Chain A
Amino acid sequence: MQTVPQSYQNERPVPAVAPPVPDMLALATAAAAGQPLAQRQVFRMLKRVVHGTLYRIVGNNRNIEDLVQDSFIEIYRSLHNYRGDAKLTTWADRITVRVAYRHLRRRDFLLSDIEAAAVWEPAESRADAREGLRRLYAALNRLNPEQRVAFALFAIDGRSLIEVAAVTDVTVVTAKSRVWRARRALRKIAMQDPVLSSHLTDEEKESGR
């Protein structure tokens, strides 16, 4: 007889049928009306998206709690405007990006915040890769917020240009243009940085001349 492993003995059995996807508009309406269960469900649904977007833009978890908090406050305050014509996660992402813009423009963070990124690292990361990431975000600090956000979402977070455009509320051509300009600027900065330049491909080094 097959015994159930100890770690699974207290878990609930997996339902045979996947639970239904909640109606986003109904959920948003209920949360906007102040229903605690709906608010908690919205929070659980959006927390990873909000954190992930902010992390990719800012580059570290230091002081990110404040940003996550600000984003959720904005999201809850705007829920009554949600019309269900976009996914709730996409809609919330737009708000999160706006909060990120405000943060970047205020330059609330210091360069030391970027250095703090080196504190949290998985043990298996190479030292130069950690340093490269730190310097990348330091270089991103030198871009304007629009280019930084577009680059972070596209190149670091791996989103498509269509998604970046939707979240930053611009056309795809504008999003593309911002990413290209950010790339060109970062390439120039990287060429002058011995650590960053070691991460450039030969073509990138050649085109940066």
Chain B
Amino acid sequence: MSGEFPSIPPLSDEAWLRIESNVYSELQRNGARVEPVQPRAKNWPLATLAAAAIVALGLAWNQNQPGPTAPLASTERNPAPAPALHSGHVSSRYITTQWDPELLEFEDASIDIAPNSAVLAFSPTAPGPRLVLEKGTAYFKVDSQPQGRDFVVQAGNVRVRVIGTEFSVERVGAGARVDVTEGVVEVTHGDEVHRLTAGEHLTEGLAFAEGLGLAGFNEDAPSWDAVDSETAPPRTKTRARANARLLFQKAATLESSSPKRAARLYRMASRGHGSWAANALYALAMLAFDEDQPTRAERYLEEYLRRFPKGVNAVDARRELDRDVQ
């Protein structure tokens, strides 16, 4: 509705005196419960202890060379800070997720790994890619890289070089889909090199089954793009929807405290099809409005209307876009 609302008429000083006096009388009559504020007990989540135990047993770590067994990078499950790594020490870490997403943090990047994913992460000083996406989806926020250092993600037969940006990579068959939210990435497949900027996406490498000699690649890994095809098995569709729902739910709990991370998780959830993906895309648009990013919000709303023209929020999405046009 149009128009501004009038300012709030103040209460008189007499009214405030009355209120204050009544409050204190009531508290004295009924005895306000007063308890000393207890300092919060240190809370060691079970997951952190479990992760520490796993580290101690050496089950989670894969070291290419003898070196420190300290964590490569901090994650939610193992929040210990990453130590400075010296040249000559190459550490790697293999992370798999099942039902919950995982956050992997370097000094110069943070990576959200979607449920049902598998990645191999390397230290910043190691040559070659920083991360190999074996299965699933990961969302990256990467600082601008210093001269002479590249942040590279390998996903099947697609190589993504980061120039300081926010983007996601999803394994699709032998290739990958790359979506750029902010900044610029360079995507290489064979001899082809593409530069993607914010709002662009590219799916490469699907038609080619050539590998790059990297062990452990699962060319049949299900992707969210494929889950609604007639040939996709029902279990794959169910798993993809469950992933979208879990991501959505996780993102919803983070909106107030960590809106940027919530946005990344919504983005991952929005990759699929179905109602959870639609809800996630609409929530992403609303978050962008809240973060005062109307251009980005418009882009998400347009994508929503393109992909879910009959979605529950389609009317509102159209209304929002019309309002922005004005």
Interface residues of A, Cβ cutoff 8 Å to B: 25, 28-29, 32-34, 39-40, 43, 47, 51-52, 55-56, 61, 64-65, 68-69, 72-73, 76-77, 80, 82-83, 120-122, 125, 129, 132-133, 136, 155-156, 160-162, 165-166, 171-173, 176, 180, 186, 190, 196, 199-201, 203-204, 207
Contacts and interface: CB of A to CB of B under 8 A. Distances in A.
B37 A32 contact: yes
Nearest to A176: B286
A58 B24 CA distance: 24
Interface string B109-123: 000000000000000
B24 A39 contact: yes
Contacts of B279: 173
A199 B32 contact: no
Contacts of B6: 121-122, 125, 133
B41 interface: no
A72 B19 contact: yes
A173 B252 contact: yes
B100 interface: no
Contact of B255 (A33, A68, A120, A171): A171
B32 A34 contact: yes
A13 to B, nearest CB: 24
A172 B290 contact: yes
Contact of A186 (B1, B11, B16): B1
A173 B1 contact: no
Top 10 nearest A-B pairs (CB, nearest first) are A172-B255, A80-B35, A171-B252, A72-B23, A55-B8, A29-B37, A173-B283, A69-B19, A156-B5, A201-B2
A207 B33 contact: no
B155 interface: no
Contacts of A136: 1
Interface size class of B (residues with CB under 8 A): 35 or more
Contacts, number: 113
A28 B35 CA distance: 11
A161 B23 contact: no
A61 B9 contact: yes
A158 to B, nearest CB: 8
Interface string B17-47: 0111011101100001111110010000000
A61 B11 contact: yes
B89 interface: no
Given A73-B26, A80-B34, A172-B256, 10 more contacts: A32-B34, A69-B19, A155-B1, A162-B290, A172-B283, A173-B255, A173-B283, A176-B283, A203-B319, A203-B323
Given A73-B27, A129-B3, A173 B8 contact: no
B138 interface: no
Contacts of B35: 32, 80
Given A133-B5, A161-B290, A201-B2, A171 B15 contact: no
B259 A162 contact: yes
Contacts of B287: 172
B33 A77 contact: yes
A34 B34 contact: yes
A161 B286 CA distance: 9
A207 B322 CA distance: 11
A73 to B, nearest CB: 5
A29 B38 CA distance: 10
Contact of B19 (A65, A122, A160, A176): A65
Which of the listed residues B6, B252, B323 has the most CB atoms from chain A within 10 Å of its own CB?
B6
Contacts of A165: 255-256
A190 B2 CA distance: 12
A51 B316 CA distance: 33
Contact of A162 (B22, B252, B256): B256
Contact of A171 (B9, B34, B36, B256): B256
Contacts of A29: 36-37
B32 A51 contact: no
Contacts of B37: 25, 28-29, 32, 80, 82-83
B34 A33 contact: yes
Interface string B212-255: 00000000000000000000000000000000000000001101
A46 B78 CA distance: 41
A2 B26 CA distance: 52
30 contacts: A25-B37, A29-B36, A29-B37, A34-B32, A39-B24, A47-B16, A69-B23, A72-B19, A72-B20, A73-B23, A76-B23, A77-B27, A80-B35, A80-B37, A82-B37, A125-B6, A136-B1, A160-B290, A165-B256, A171-B255, A172-B252, A172-B290, A173-B283, A173-B286, A176-B283, A180-B316, A186-B1, A196-B1, A201-B2, A207-B319
B80 interface: no
B31 to A, nearest CB: 10
